Amino acid sequence: MNIYMILQELGISYNEIEHEAVFTVEQAQNIKNKIEGTGCKNLFLTDKKGKYFLVVLEENKRANISEIEKLTDTKHLSFANNEELKEILSLEQGSVTPLGIINDINNKVLMIIDRDLKSKKLLVHPNINTKTISINFADLVKFIEYEKHKYILM
């Protein structure tokens, strides 16, 4: 199923805009003037044991790797390489999104979500960086649970 079919099946309402391709949080700043929501920074990380983590932060925050390592009981986190990103989430660098878990059919990815996003409307890509959708945090959680993925709040 594609993302839009799942959103519809789950009764998740969203707003969407199309735009030029964006590859960084900085480039996405112009989008915020056109659609309501908080931008998200999405990091696809791995450890030396082959565990994968998709970290979703508020756009202006820096990832605290030590905190993430403690939270996940892992060590030596680093960015997953482009091949892993493509293989596991079917995404390209610059289009990482929490909705990418739709492609993680082997359920290898643990979601780690910034607790401060709980009460916000979020701006995320629908697996392509030329579109942005705005959805509520609770609806993102509904999507994650539908995809049978685990998540923890940080």
In the chain the domains, ranked by start, together with CATH numbers, are: 3-153 (3.90.960.10)
What sign for the dihedral angle of Cα 99, 153, 123, 7?
positive
pLDDT at 1: 61
pLDDT at 94: 81
Q: Is the pTM of this model over 0.85?
A: yes
C-alpha 119 chain-centroid distance: 16
Kindly indicate the confidence band of residue 100, based on its pLDDT and cuts at 50, 70 and 90: very high
Structure letter (DSSP) for residue 98: G
Contact at 8 Å (CB) between 122 and 115? no
Largest CA distance in the chain: 41
pLDDT tens per residue across span 138-148: 999 999 999 99
pLDDT tens per residue across span 47-81: 999 999 999 999 999 999 999 999 999 999 999 99
Long-range contacts of 64-68 (CB under 8 A, 24+ apart): 67/154, 68/112, 68/154
Kindly indicate the confidence band of residue 27, based on its pLDDT and cuts at 50, 70 and 90: confident
The mean pLDDT of the chain is 93
For residue 29, what are the CA distances in angstroms to 3, 33, 40, 59, 90?
A: 24, 8, 11, 9, 25
